[in-house]
Structure 1
């Protein structure tokens, strides 16, 4: 695709964007080979993004008024730096808009937010098989943190861990 002359517009998401955000989340899950993993619903995302205690923020990339991508991010904290950071949970650009500068515009927009808020870090995960994304992120200055591994506890294991030491779970 030939890159358009003007970068896409990036704006904060609004409650009216939640159905499109969920569509993007589902498309991202399918791309990441987990099409049945999405449990989120429109009401859940609405509460997480626009409820009384938002868990995350979202921005929309659009061209000619039509959404072509999004990013969801939230605040982290590092005891090592003593400062907050930004965690990019999801970034997605529609296949038709890839190569148009939308991904770069989203990343740059989030970096500006991180700098304006005096965050120490801007971090995210990328699947190890997604070489185009890895190359894109490296070109933007990202550095892999390969010495760290992700650990996760969910479902029944989470409930068992929550009951550990209380007589409610296996020890």
Structure 2
């Protein structure tokens, strides 16, 4: 088996959309997927991309992806890479593709002089948590992820 990690290109947009939907199904969050494919494409491949994607292939067949963007550590004074989503199709799990995707991002972080690679994982996803810990990742139990979206976001923005 040959594993390849490559940057996504605009022609990959339908594949990326499918993989996002597959990930949402796996995470029991399909009801939250509401992106417009054209808007997604503009945000990934337009003149001012907000995120990047790499595609993981096994023997030339796309079997997974990682979507990431830069964040910034004020304490480090340097950028980081935030992994928004990583997904490997069930039939390809155990072949090392997830590890290859994370290793690619770790190397990219080093090459871009980033202080860290960071992501979130659902509490119930014990297999992924164990996998991440086996690679040296540590849970940040002292932090709680916060979010403002939808009407709450509009309301808060109205206070500016």
Q: TM-score, normalised by structure 2?
A: 0.97
**1:60 counterpart residue number:** 55
Runs of 4+ displaced beyond 2 Å: none
Deviations 1:120-146 (A, max 9, x none): 010000000000000000000001101
Equivalent of 2:119 in 112, 115, 124: 124
1:140 maps to 2:111? no
Match of 2:98 among 87, 99, 103: 103
Aligned-pair RMSD on alpha carbons?
0.9
**TM superposition shift of 1:66:** 1.4
- Structure 2: any 5+ residue segments left out of the alignment? none
For 2:47 and 2:63, locate their aligned partners in 1 and report how far apart those are by CA, in whole Å.
Answer: 28
The question of whether the paired residues in 2 share the 8 Å contact of 1:22 and 1:41 is answered with no
Q: For residue 6 of structure 2, what is the aligned residue in structure 1?
A: 11
| Alpha-carbon separation, structure 2, partners of 1:154 and 1:162 | 10
SS at match of 2:145: coil
d(CA) in 2 for partners of 1:26, 1:154? 20
Aligned partners of 1:155 and 1:46: how far apart in 2?
21
Where does the alignment leave 5 or more consecutive residues of structure 1 unmatched? 167-171
Using the alignment, how far apart are the partners of 1:69 and 1:41 within structure 2?
A: 21
Aligned residues, how many? 160
Cα deviation for residue 44 of structure 1 reads 1.5
Larger Rg over CA atoms: 1
Checking the alignment, whether the CA contact within 8 Å between 1:86 and 1:114 is kept in structure 2 is yes
Task: Write the distance in 1 (CA, Å) between the matches of 2:40 and 2:93.
Answer: 25
SS of the residue aligned with 2:154? helix
Inter-partner Cα distance in structure 1 for 2:38 and 2:122: 28
- Take 2:54 and 2:139, find their aligned partners in 1: how far apart are those partners? 24
